[in-house]
Amino acid sequence: MKVQALTALLFLLVAANEAKTMEKCELAKTLKSHGMDGFQGYKLGDWVCMAYHESKYNTKAVGPPNKDGSRDFGIFQINSKYWCKDGKHPSKNGCNKSCSSFTNDDIRDDIECCKKIVRDPKKMDAWVAWVKHCKGKDLSQWTRGCKL
């Protein structure tokens, strides 16, 4: 009985976790429909690769605190010091958004914020995981098999 209850709980947790995680091609398609293919010179694969390595496509991801106390929010791990308000720490709030709007399943505003971030001089270098895992790499796998 105990084991069954535990199994059921585990299943629910896994199911709940999956519900907030996007599929690769679903993300690629959404990004494309928002004009991200070629935006500021970056390919769709750059954005999909970045999202995978930042959040594993988890729209509700909240990163651990950075050295300055800020955190990174959502599928694109948008930083609370510069781009959104967490209500606790001072923020430049460059995207004029509450950070909690980057942890729901509607990623349209997250994408709009990415457009602001990538217009900054650092461009996609703002995403450490992108620099480490995606920059200058063959990105074809990130859109492979997707009907775009």
Q: Indicate which residues carry an active-site annotation.
A: 54, 72
106 counts as binding Ca ion under rule CB under 5 A: yes
109 counts as binding Ca ion under rule CB under 5 A: yes
* Cα torsion through 86, 89, 90, 92, rounded to 10: -40
> Minimum Å distance from CB 28 to Ca ion?
18
Are the CB atoms for 63 and 53 separated by under 8 Å? no
> Minimum Å distance from CB 86 to Ca ion?
14
What's the N-to-C CA distance of the chain in angstroms?
A: 47
> Minimum Å distance from CB 62 to Ca ion?
13
Q: Using alpha carbons, select from 63, 31, 22 the residue that is nearest to residue 139.
A: 31
Nearer to Ca ion, 118 or 139 (CB): 118
Under the rule (CB under 5 A), what is the footprint of Ca ion?
101, 104, 106, 109-110
